[in-house]
Amino acid sequence: MHLTAVHYFIIVAMAALQIVLGPVCYNIARRKEANPVKWLILGWLTGLFGLLFLTDDRRVVFLLIALAVVVPMVFHLPGIVATSPIVKAIFDKVESLPPGSNILLSYDYGPATVPENQPMADAMTRHVLVKGHHLFIMAVWATGERQAKLTVDSVVVKEFPDKVYGQDYLLLGYKAGNQGLINALYQSIRGMYTTDAQGKPIDDFPMMKGVENLRSMDLILCVGSGKPGIKEWVQFAGDRGNIPIAGGVTAVEATLLYPYYPRQLLGLMGGLQGAAEYEKALIDHYPQFKMTSITAVRYMGPQTIAHLVIIILVVVGNAIYFVTRKQQAH
């Protein structure tokens, strides 16, 4: 491609724009002085954008995205988060229930969506346990049980050593049947779960006293990434029994569920942002989780940069489009 004066002008203008805007944005984000490393990164990115502008090759886009994710991870840029009402609704519900309420947490996702889903489940588990509620853990997805065990091992056992299994929390585990399982649990929990995940009879646990079916639950939380997921919980349990349903899903899934909010769905965490918002609310109320409940908040750093890069990409794309159109017109 032949380089014209317009090309050089746009490259220089973009570099200037980034050098000015970049630190401003970082300062807004961190309320701190920008350090030289970031200037370096900025120059680097500018060069790549220039390269992209020259070649219009999408592999440069791939490289840009990779850098946008890796560089902030290497330099530990954290994100800044504020809790939105739709997430706050879940937090407030857990907060307002009297201690000892029954809360069901269902793990309806697999390893593929762990980055988004696991922080949600972990944060809600922390909150439910610190409030002294009874936590019933189950999975509608076969892959969910493994994730539930992960939470139990890394969060419950480590951070809540005083909580007793079977008294404060109970791992019911996975049962096949998809939405049919929810349907059956609505009628009776014992009909599906005669034992817990370890195979101990369910009635041996003091928590199960007075728990008959899903209507015995004061709140059902579901962390999901597809079908069956929150939609099925709403359809087969929430709508039928007027049980409050809330939870978190991947951002893609979230757009599908907003029509259910707020009539059929108490609140919803959408993607990493939702998880980070819940973590933020949790940290604000319970500072003891400042060091542990921060996975999603920490991930927001690379997110911010990647979003900015994509936005700039669109601008560059349009610039290329208008330049080439002008050239063709001549």
Partner 1 sequence: MAPRNFIILAIIAAVILVMLFTGAFSDFQSLKLWVGALLTLMIFSFLYKDNPFYKFAEHLFVGVSAAYWMTKGIQTTLWPNCLRPVLLDWFQGGAASVAADHLPFGVLPYGVARVIPAVFGLILLTRLIGPIGWLSRWAMAFIIGYAAGTNFTRYLQSDFVGQIYNTLLPVVNGPGAFGVFVAYAVIAAALILAYRFLIAGLQRGAGAVTTRSIFWIATVVFVLLFATKFPNLTVVTGVICGLIYFFFSVEHKGLFGWTSRIGIYMLMLAFGATFGYTVMARISLLIGRMSDLGTWLGRVF
Partner 2 sequence: MRSMQFSMPKACAALCLVLSAFSGSLAEPILGDQQAAGVRALLPPRDVQAMDTPRDGGLSLTIRWQPPSGEEAGLLGYRIYRADSPNWEFRLVGQVDRNTMEYQNIPNDSIKVQMGKEYYYKVAAYDSLGEAMSEAVGPVKSRPTWFDIHRLPILVAIVLFFGSVLVFFRITKRGKGLFIRRIAGIAAMEEAVGRATELGRPVLYVPGIMDVDNIQTIASMVILVDVAKLAAQYDVPIIVPLNRAFVVPMAEESVRQGFLNAGRPDSYDPDNVRYLSDEQFAFTAGVNGIMVREKTAAHFFLGAFFAESLILSEMGFSTGAIQIAGTANIHQLPFFVVACDYTLIGEEFYAATAYISKDPQLLGPLKGADFMKVVIMALLVVGSLLELFGVHWLTGLLTLS
Partner 3 sequence: MKRQIPLLITFFFGIFMIIQYFIPHHGVNEWGGRFQGWTIIVLAFAYVLGVANVLRISLEKVYRKEADWPFKLVTCISLVLMMGIGLVEGVGEDTFFVRRLYNQLYVPMGATMYSTLAFFIASAAYRAFRIRTWHAALLAVTAMLVMIGRIPIGQGIWSGFPRLSDWIMFEGPNMVGQRAILIGAALGAISTGLKMVFGIERSYLGSGD
Residues that bind partner 3 (CB under 8 A): 25, 28-29, 58, 61-62, 64-66, 69, 79-82, 84, 86, 111-112, 145-146, 180, 255-256, 258-259, 261, 273, 300, 303-304, 306-311, 313-314, 316-318, 320-321
Strand boundaries in 132-191, DSSP class E: 134-139, 169-174
Residue 321's binding partner among partner 3, partner 1, partner 2, none (Cβ under 5 to 8 angstroms by kind) is: partner 3
Instruction: Name which position in 7, 30, 149, 190 contacts partner 2 (CB under 8 A).
Output: 190
Contact between 70 and partner 1 by CB under 8 A: the answer reads yes
Between 234 and 273, how does the x/- string for binding to partner 1 read (CB under 8 A)?
-x--------------xxx-xx---x---x------xxxx
Please choose which of partner 1, partner 2, partner 3, none residue 318 contacts, taking the beta carbon within 5 to 8 angstroms, the exact cut-off set by kind: partner 3
Q: Is 162 exposed, middle or buried (0-12, 13-18, 19+ CB in 10 A)?
A: exposed
Q: Which does 43 bind (CB under 5 to 8 A by kind): partner 1, partner 3, partner 2, none?
A: none
What does DSSP assign to residue 271? H
- Judged by CB under 8 A, the stretch of 28-36, 45-53, 107-115, 155-163 that binds partner 1 is 107-115
Q: Alpha carbon of 43 to those of 18, 50, 68, 71, 201: distances in Å?
A: 8, 11, 13, 13, 63
Scan for tokens 């969910």, then name that residue.
Answer: 144
Is the CB of 255 or the CB of 327 nearer to partner 1?
A: 255
Using rule CB under 8 A, residue 80 touches partner 2 = no
* Burial of 321 from C-beta contacts in 10 A (0-12 / 13-18 / 19+): exposed
Query: Around 9, how many Cα atoms within 13 Å sit in the side-chain half-sphere?
Result: 6
- Ranges assigned E (strand) in the chain: 102-108, 134-139, 169-174, 219-224, 245-249, 267-270
Helix (H, G, I), strand (E, B) or coil at 26: helix
| Mask for 202-221, x = binds partner 2 (CB under 8 A) | -------xxxxx-xx-----
Q: In the complex, which residues of this chain contact partner 1 (CB under 8 A)?
A: 59, 62, 65-66, 69-70, 73, 112-116, 176, 235, 250-252, 254-255, 259, 263, 270-273, 299, 302-303, 306-307, 310
